[in-house]
Amino acid sequence: DTGVSQDPRHKITKRGQNVTFRCDPISEHNRLYWYRQTLGQGPEFLTYFQNEAQLEKSRLLSDRFSAERPKGSFSTLEIQRTEQGDSAMYLCASSASQEQETQYFGPGTRLLVL
Amino acid sequence: GENVEQHPSTLSVQEGDSAVIKCTYSDSASNYFPWYKQELGKGPQLIIDIRSNVGEKKDQRIAVTLNKTAKHFSLHITETQPEDSAVYFCAASSWGKLQFGAGTQVVVTP
């Protein structure tokens, strides 16, 4: 399968713990996006990368959130000192380029903070 | 920033009937409008998209129309089947991040 993959698929953690999620985009896609989706809502943009450069961050991305894409391939999203309000589905998407902007989504990582 | 509104929030149709979902957007700079289908526990799956230089696009039972002047676009599903039951999201963007609508829960009853 050459689609977008995310790991883990599910994560349960206690409030105050740190968590890290990984996204592997479609091979040779140079844009990678992170979104957050809460129950009953559409995905909300968090941040995106073009190759290894982080080009935009949403105001939703507080200072407890950090994302990296060190070699322009896979990306990680870390949440420090998790809060119950962080419980959501975290979605990753990739697109080939700015011009070929169709975004393909992964299956998501569902986070539950107790 | 961009704001996308989607209606209705729920839609129940008989198998074989048509389903229509409507979205409006606020940013006239938006030039790309995809539609996604999301099944329970899965990520959104692209079903069709349209760019601002096109007014209509069709792919088998699915069609999308765009009215740039009125800033609205619609998804049409004909001859609905039970497997069309899912949540559908519209989105708008201008060369980057997608702004999604709140979604439409479509239920197709046999």
The 3-state secondary structure of chain A reads: CCCCEEECCEEEECCCCCEEEEEECCCCCCEEEEEEECCCCCCEEEEEEECCEEEEECCCCCCCEEEECCCCCCEEEEECCCCHHHCEEEEEEEECCCCCCCCEECCCEEEEEC
Q: CA of B40, closest CA in chain A: separation in Å?
A: 11
Q: What is the mean pLDDT of chain A?
A: 94
CB within 8 Å: A91 and B44: yes
Which range, of A81-85, A91-95, B48-52, averages the lowest pLDDT? B48-52
Q: What pLDDT does residue A12 have?
A: 98
Per-residue DSSP letter, B93 = B
Which residues of A fall below an 8 Å CB-CB distance to B?
4, 33, 35, 40-45, 48, 55-56, 58, 91, 98, 101-108, 110
Q: A100 pLDDT exceeds 70? A: no
Cross-chain Cβ contact A98/B44 below 8 Å? no
Taking only the tens place, the pLDDT of each residue in B60-96 is 999 999 999 999 999 999 999 999 999 999 999 977 8
Predicted pLDDT at B102? 97
State which amino acid sits at residue B54.
Answer: V
Residue in A18, A44, A23, A28 with CA at minimum distance from that of residue B2:
A44
At A65, the amino acid letter reads F
At B99 the pLDDT is 95
**Amino acid B54: pLDDT:** 83
Q: With residue B34 as reference, give the H or E element that holds it.
A: strand B32-38
pLDDT at A1 over 60: no
Q: CA A8, CA B15: separation in Å to the nearest integer?
A: 37
**pLDDT score recorded for residue B23:** 98
Tokens of B38: 């999301």
Cα of A14 to nearest chain B Cα, Å: 22
Which residues of chain A are within 8 Å of residue B29 when distances are taken between CB atoms? none
pLDDT in tens, A28-49: 899 999 999 999 999 999 999 9
State whether B44 and A101 contact (CB < 8 Å): no
A93, amino acid identity: A
| Nearest-by-Cβ selection for B46 from A45, A104, A107 | A104
Q: Determine which of A10-24, B50-64, B71-85 has the lowest per-residue pLDDT on average.
A: B50-64
Q: Using 50, 70 and 90 to split pLDDT, how confident is the model at B43?
A: very high
Whole-number percent of chain B with pLDDT over 70? 99
Across the interface, do A102 and B34 touch by the CB < 8 Å criterion? Answer: yes
**Pairing status of strand B86-92 against strand B104-109:** antiparallel
Three-state SS for chain B is CCCEEEECCEEEEECCCCEEEEEEECCCCCCEEEEEEECCCCCCEEEEEEECCCCEEEECCEEEEEECCCCEEEEEECCCCHHHCEEEEEEEECCCCCEECCCEEEEEEC
Q: Is the pLDDT of residue A105 over 90?
A: yes
Q: Is the pLDDT of residue A2 over 90?
A: no
Residues of chain B with pLDDT > 90: what percent? 87
Across the interface, which of B41, B96, B99 has its CB nearest the CB of A48?
B96
List A110's β-bridge partners, or say none: A10, A89
